[in-house]
Structures are given as C-alpha cells and as structure tokens.
Structure 1
Amino acid sequence: MIIKAKEKDIPTIQDLAKKSWIVAYADILKQDQIDYMLDMMYSEEALKKHFENPNFHYYLIREENQFLGFVGFEFHQEPETTKLHRIYFLKEAQGKGLGKEVLEFVKNEAKKNGNRRLILTVNKNNSAQKFYEYQGFKIYEEKILDVGNGYVMDDYLMELPIS
C-alpha cells in the first residue's frame, strides 16, 4: 500500500532512511559519510522544507502493519520533469516487486502533473542502477557531486521518458 506521508511522519521517514541506507550504502560509502549524509538529508529541518514545497511529495510503502520503504519526488524540478529524489526499502522488502510498483506510481503521478520525463541520480557503485536500467532508465550524464564536509558522490544521472 502506498500512503501519502505528512509532516507527522518525519520520524518514520528518518527511521526508514537510516535502516535502508545501511543496506544500500554499506559497501559503497564509509560509515562517517553515511552518517553525515543522513543528518544532512533527513534532518527534521530538511524534511520540513520538503513538506512545505507543494511540488515535493513523500509516500510511505506499507505491507500489513509494517512500513517497508518510502519514496520522495518533486514535480517540475526542470520543465516537464519529475525528479525521483529518494526511493528506499528495508532489506526484507527487496525482491517483492515493490520498487517496480512504486516507480509506476511515481510515473503516473508525474504524468498527471504534466511531466513527460522522470530523472534520478544513482551512485555508480549502487546495484540499484541495474534495476533502473531494467525499468527503462538510460544514463544521460555522469557527475561527481560535492555533498559537503569533504564528501562527494560519484553518480550517474538517469532519465526515463513518460508517455
């Protein structure tokens, strides 16, 4: 089940981010960079700013009574473009088809809002890149992003046309 998140759900998003990042980035980033980025990207202040932005949306993914993941995306990040900022699942949720289901949901939401393109960034060493390619995303640029505090992310920028 995909449920629209509200500001009151910030602690749930933070908890899911922390648990899912341990799995997603354990073999890619050092723990101090993971801690820094979690603090920067998922602080209460940062998340509140997203909730104040009418184009930024968070949804929680729940199965039975357990939250298994979340997605955060922003309409009109560029003309006719929705940016998928975050899509993370707990380890026990992987392999259940939830990622594909959530991507379909985001594509439909983007289309309803007049967007014709979905973009994202993914670390070059993140196995999720293969999942995105399987879903039809193509790499359109490579970029080393300075995330502050002396840390960088070596990423692919990927896109998917929405018809």
Structure 2
Amino acid sequence: MKLIKATEKDIAVIRDLARKSWEHAYKDILSGEQMEYMLSTMYSAEEIKDQLQQPRYHYYLIKDESSDSYDGFIGYENGYEEKTTKLHRIYLVPESKGKGAGKYALEFLKEKTADHGDLRIILNVNKYNPARAFYESQGFRIYEEGVFDIGNGFVMDDYLMEFIIGNPED
C-alpha cells in the first residue's frame, strides 16, 4: 500500500475512482439524480484542478502495489479552521474494501495533520453511510449534526465527526 501525491495529470483517475466508489457507496442512500449532480459539481475537472492549485489542499491516490492498481483516494485541507484539518473526501473502490486501505490512509492523514501543526481532523459523513462505523473504529466521534443545502433542491444530511490528535485512544 502506498499513497502518491496527485497532480493535475491525475484528475481523470480521481474522477473515475470517485464514480466507482459513489455508485457502490451511495446507491441505496442518494437518488441517481442527486448522485449525478454531486459528482458533476464536486468532481468536475475544474473543481479538482482548483483544489489542486490551493497550497493547503492535498489529494493522494491510494495504490495497491501488489496489483499495481488504485484502490481510492483521499483529499484533505490543512488549516481549514484554526488548528484543524478537514478530510473532504476519502473513497475506496468496492473491490478494495477489507484490504486495510482506509485505515492506512487515515493513519497517513493523522501524521500529515500533526506534521502541519493542526490538532484536530474533522469530516462530514452521510447519516446513512455505514462508513460512520469505520470512522468511529478509528477514533473519530460525532460532535454535531447538520443538513446542508448543496443546490438544485438537494441537501446533505450529515454527522460531523472529529479526531483529536494526541487523543490517548488513538
């Protein structure tokens, strides 16, 4: 398992991994229309390019070296709030589940967050996404709930979770 810093040349790979992951993860949670809307706005080539050009926003591809394939990706932003890194996205393709890629990526994120000097990682997770249990198993806890208008008549109904760097339980 290896994380590789993504660049603009990887935008098509990120978009493909997002689609594969979302079609599996959200098929029973979001309508097809909402999924397409979110993928076309949040994962447009322009949106990803803009994020890659921001010095505090980072994308890494998660590579399975044994199969020489990508298992997913992670996107995060240091300094999102004071002393806080935001995990904007971590997605794995269905065939990578259970290989430890998610845990590996979160450990990497915890190290990068600490190296940056941030003391907290936050994320949003859909209330009906089973990934919530995974985050909890990795030391994250719910600190708030939120319903967010994302346009086009759609909302995100999420738990907001956090991980405190240096937590004795991590």
Find the counterpart in structure 2 of residue 36 from structure 1.
37
Q: 1:20, 1:133 → 2: CA distance?
A: 20
AA at the equivalent of 1:136: G
Find the counterpart in structure 2 of residue 53 from structure 1.
54
Find the counterpart in structure 1 of residue 143 from structure 2.
140
- Aligned-pair identity in percent equals 55
Find the counterpart in structure 1 of residue 163 from structure 2.
160
Gaps of 5+ in 1: none
1:73 aligns with 2:84: no
Query: Which deviations, in whole Å up to 9, do the C-alpha atoms of 1:89-125 show, x marking residues without a partner?
Result: 0001001111111000001001000000000000000
Q: 2:32, 2:71 → 1: CA distance?
A: 22
Q: CA deviation at 1:52?
A: 1.0
AA at the equivalent of 2:89: R
Q: 1:47, 1:80 → 2: CA distance?
A: 24
CA RMSD of aligned residues (A): 0.6
Please list, as runs of the form range in 1=range in 2, the aligned pairs for 1:10-29 lying within 5 A after superposition. Answer: 10-29=11-30
* Structure 2 length-normalised TM: 0.95
Q: 2:139, 2:110 → 1: CA distance?
A: 12
Q: 2:42, 2:84 → 1: CA distance?
A: 22
Find the counterpart in structure 1 of residue 126 from structure 2.
123
Query: Which deviations, in whole Å up to 9, do the C-alpha atoms of 1:132-151 show, x marking residues without a partner?
Result: 01111111110001111000
Equivalenced residues, count: 163
1:7 aligns with 2:8: yes
Q: 2:115, 2:147 → 1: CA distance?
A: 32
* Structure 1 length-normalised TM: 0.99
Q: 1:145, 1:24 → 2: CA distance?
A: 19
Gaps of 5+ in 2: none
AA at the equivalent of 2:42: M
